[in-house]
Amino acid sequence: MRDVAVIGIGMTDFGECWNDSLRDLFVKAALQAMDESGADRLDSIYVGSMSPGLFCGQEHIGSLLSDYLGQAPVPAARVESACASGGLALRCGFFEVASGASDFVLCGGVEKMTDVSGAQATYALGTASDQDYEAFHGATFPGLYALIATAHMHKYGTKREDLAQVAVKNHENGLLNPHAQYRMKITVEQVINSVKVADPLNILDCSPITDGAAAVLLCPLEMTKKLSKKPIVKIAASAMATDTMALHQRKDITWLGSTAKAAESAYKKAGVKPGDIDFAEVHDCFTIAEICVLESLGVVEKGKGGEASRSGLTARDGKFPVNPSGGLKSKGHPVGATGIAQIYEIVTQLRGEAGKRQLKKANRGLAQNMGGSGGSAVVHILEVL
C-alpha cells in the first residue's frame, strides 16, 4: 500500500444556504480543494451523502456532481453510511490511492437539508436507525440518544450540567470558526433552560439541521511532497467498524462498540496510543455523544466522559482539545459533509492555519465520524510531517 496524503481542502459556510443547491454547495467546496492542490487533473471522485433522495429527490449524485464540476468522464461514486458518509468517502478514496490505481482522488461530502420541513428532515434522519425495530415504533434520534444519556447518568452519575458543558465548550470554539452555523457563546444555564426535545436532552444539546459541503483531495505522499507548497499532512490510518444497528441489541448502550473497534484498528495501523494524539474532532451530534465517544476512543476511562468538559481537559487550551472547529453542535451538521469537514479542521490545525482557534500543539489529530446511534463509525488519524 502506498502512503496517502491530503493535498487540498475546501468547505462551504455551514448553515441555511438558501441560495445554493446541493450541486452548488459541492462544487464550491470541491473547487477550493482542487485550487489549492496544484493538481492538474482528477482521477476519481467519492462523495458522501446520507439521503439526497429524501432531502432533495435526487439520487445518482456521483454522476451529477462529476458532471456539474466539469469533470465527466471522471469516475464518481456516492457512498453512504448515514452521518458517517463523509468519513466513508475518505476511506474509499484512501484505498483507491493506496492501491496505486489512482493518484488524485477527490473525497467530498454534501447534504442539503433545509429544502424540506423539520418533520420531513426528522423522518429522513430516522432512516439511519433500524426501520423495523426502532423508527417504525416512533423512536427518533433525539429519543435514542436520550436513552443513552439516561443510561449514562444512571450508571456513572453523569450530571445534567456535564452534558450542557459539552455544548458550551463547542460553542466557544465555533465562535472562532468563520464557517460555523451558530457562532454564539452559550452558558450551562441556557442549555439547561432551553426547550426540551427528548428528556434529558434540550434543543441546545442537539446539533442543528444544516446545508453544507466539504472536500479534500488525496494524493500519494511522495507526489504530494513534490507538488504541495503547504505542510504535508499524511493519513496515518483509516479504519471503520460496525455495531448492531438497533440500540436494544447492545449489552451496554453507553458503550459505542463501532467507535471503539475502529479506533483500536486505527491506533494499531498508525502505531500510536490514545495518549499520542494531540487533539480530536468527534461526532457530537448530541452532547451525550461526545461524552460516550471520548470513553470509547480510550481518551478517558469508562464513565469519565462527563468530567472531560467540566475539568477543561477537552477545552481549546486543555490537555486534549476536542472539536476545536465547534463540532457538529456549533459548526453545524450537514450529515454527509460532516466527516469531511472534520478532516478539513484537522488539516487546517496541522498546517497551523486555524487563526484564532489554532491549537498550541497540533502534530497528530484524530477524526471520529459516526452513523446513526453508532451502527457504524469511521476513524482517521492524520499527521503533519
Query: Do residues 46 and 66 touch, judged by C-beta distance below 8 A?
Result: no
Query: Which of residues 324 and 375 has its CB atom nearest to a copy of itself in the complex?
Result: 375
151, 201 in Cβ contact below 8 A?
no
67 binds a copy of itself (CB under 8 A): yes
Active site residue 83: yes
295 counts as binding a copy of itself under rule CB under 8 A: no
Q: Least distance to a copy of itself from the beta carbon of 136, Å?
A: 8
Query: How far apart, in whole angstroms, are the C-alpha atoms of residue 117 and residue 106?
Result: 31
Element (H, E) at 269: helix 257-270
Work out whether 78 is an interface residue with a copy of itself (CB under 8 A). yes
- DSSP assignments along 144-174, one per residue: HHHHHHHHHHHHH---HHHHHHHHHHHHHHH
Residue 125, class by beta-carbon neighbours within 10 Å (0-12 exposed, 13-18 middle, 19+ buried)? buried
Beta carbon of residue 264, minimum distance to a copy of itself (angstroms, whole number): 10
Minimal distance in Å, beta carbon 171 to a copy of itself?
Answer: 28
56 a catalytic residue: no
The nearer residue to a copy of itself, 151 or 266, going by C-beta atoms, is: 266
The answer to whether 81 contacts a copy of itself (rule: CB under 8 A) is yes
Question: Which residues are bridge partners to 212 per DSSP?
Answer: 111
Find the catalytic residue in 171, 179, 283, 333.
Answer: 333
- Check residue 163 for interaction with a copy of itself (CB under 8 A): no
CA distance 254 to 287: 13
What are the two backbone dihedrals, phi and then psi, of residue 120, each rounded to the nearest 5 degrees?
-65, -35
Would you state the cell numbers that stand for residue 235, as one nine-digit string?
493519513
Binding residues among 101-160 for a copy of itself as defined by CB under 8 A: 101, 123-124, 127-132, 135
CA angle (185 as vertex; 179, 186 as ends), nearest 5: 125
Q: Which of 17, 83, 107, 285 is catalytic?
A: 83
Query: According to CB under 8 A, which residues from 237 to 276 bind a copy of itself?
Result: 239-246, 249, 257-258, 261-262
CA dist list (Å): 371 to 133, 139, 241, 383: 17, 16, 10, 24
Grouping H, G, I as helix, E, B as strand and the rest as coil, residue 220 is strand
The number of residues that bind a copy of itself (CB under 8 A) is 65
- The yes or no reply on residue 58 touching a copy of itself (CB under 8 A) is yes
Q: Which of 39, 92, 168, 362 binds a copy of itself (CB under 8 A)?
A: 92
Given the rule CB under 8 A, which residues bind a copy of itself?
1, 21, 44, 50-51, 53-54, 56-60, 62-64, 66-68, 71-82, 88, 91-92, 95-96, 98-101, 123-124, 127-132, 135, 239-246, 249, 257-258, 261-262, 371-372, 375-376
**Active-site annotation, residues:** 83, 333
